[in-house]
Structure 1
Amino acid sequence: MDTKQQIIDISKALFQQKGYKGVGIAEILKECNISKGSFYHHFPNGKEELLITCLQSIKETITSDIEFFFNHYPTTQEATHAMIDKLIDFEREGTIAAATFTSIVSEMGSLSDPVRNVCLDLYSKMQRIYSDKLVGDGFPQEAADSLALMITASLEGGIMLCLTQNSSDPLKIISNVIPNLFKKI
């Protein structure tokens, strides 16, 4: 693994564990076993540039995962249910797959336009995937767009509730309730 990828991988884990503000450059240097010069060679604009790179990496993973579910299940309802089941990892690992992105958005999204824009791009892509599938299920575009927003908001809110309650129950409840959204308008 090259140094830049090592910095990204280790920093993603640190940001997930401690938040963006809870991780300093010194800790990243120590965990990566690199010099300050090596860090700034790869990220000349510092820690925020690293964060944006980490978020872009996470965004690609999340988008690929969502596309997998929405391409492999015949309906939005089945795809959403399968996706939520994958998100729920508390019983197995004590974490939620998308928690990194959600927690960083809540911590940093309103403070930095570049960070906010990466977050906006992910949420827009998520909604587009949901909306396209709903249109394929026979929903009119306007209804599909509205439902896509509701799915996104429900899942993101559910993830935050799971984190604060240290339980997967909020996502389990959402998984049981969300099919009611898919009744034809």
Structure 2
Amino acid sequence: MGTKSQIIEIATALFQEKGYNGVGLNEIINACKISKGALYHHFPNGKEELLIACLGSLNEVITKDIEEIFDQYPTIKEAMKAMIEKLIAKFETEGTITSYTFSSIVSEMGSLSEAVRIACSNLYTKIEGIYSNKLQSDGLSEESANSIAVTMTAAIEGGILLCLTNKTSEPLKMISQVLLRLV
């Protein structure tokens, strides 16, 4: 793994754990065991540029995983059930699901730039698109599929936060049951 990839991986974990405002550049530099010059070599515009790179990396990882699951199952119900079961299993074995969410970063949106807001929006839009396409392939109209995709995204993101906050996978189990009845 190259230095830039290492910085992105470590900074992503720190941002998810502590939020954007809760992590300083010195903490990232120390965790990566690099110099300040090395960080600025890869991210000349500093912390915000690094955050956008982290969001891009999360976008790739999260959407690739969702697409792989959704491609394996013929219906939205089967795909959604498999995806939520994977999240539940990850939480129950690892005690966290932070690699599947960026809500802790987004929660500080008011203090972040338009470029960061757009990077976050792009990820949500891509996830909603995956859900909507599967719903449409199950026969729903584009309008209905888009509405349900937004609901799914919000419910799953919220469920992940509730699991992390309450230290139980029950919220995702309940959400799975409700979403399966919805579709």
TM class, shorter-chain normalised?
over 0.9
Cα distance, 1:18–1:110 mapped onto 2, change above 3 Å: closer
TM-score between the two structures when normalised by the length of structure 2: 0.93
Aligned residues: 182
The equivalences for 1:1-185 within 5 A come to: 1-88=1-88, 89-98=90-99, 100-108=101-109, 111-182=112-183
CA-to-aligned-CA distance 1:61-120 (integer Å, 9 cap, x gap): 111011111111010011001111111222211101445412111123663211110111
Which blocks of at least 5 consecutive residues in structure 2 are unaligned?
Answer: none
CA-to-aligned-CA distance 1:14-57 (integer Å, 9 cap, x gap): 22222222211111111111111111111001011111101100
Which residue identity lines up with residue 34 of structure 1 in the other structure?
A: I
Cα distance, 1:122–1:23 mapped onto 2, change above 3 Å: same
Q: Secondary structure at the match of 2:140?
A: coil
Which residue identity lines up with residue 90 of structure 1 in the other structure?
A: F
Which blocks of at least 5 consecutive residues in structure 1 are unaligned?
Answer: none
Native 8 Å contact 1:99 1:160 kept in 2: no
C-alpha separation in 2, matches of 1:87 and 1:110: 29
Which residue identity lines up with residue 85 of structure 1 in the other structure?
A: E
Native 8 Å contact 2:132 2:145 kept in 1: yes
Identity of aligned pairs, percent? 61
Which residue identity lines up with residue 117 of structure 2 in the other structure?
A: R
Cα distance, 1:84–1:97 mapped onto 2, change above 3 Å: farther
Give the CA RMSD over aligned residues. Answer: 1.5
Q: Secondary structure at the match of 1:153?
A: helix
C-alpha separation in 2, matches of 1:109 and 1:82: 34
Q: CA deviation at 1:149?
A: 1.2
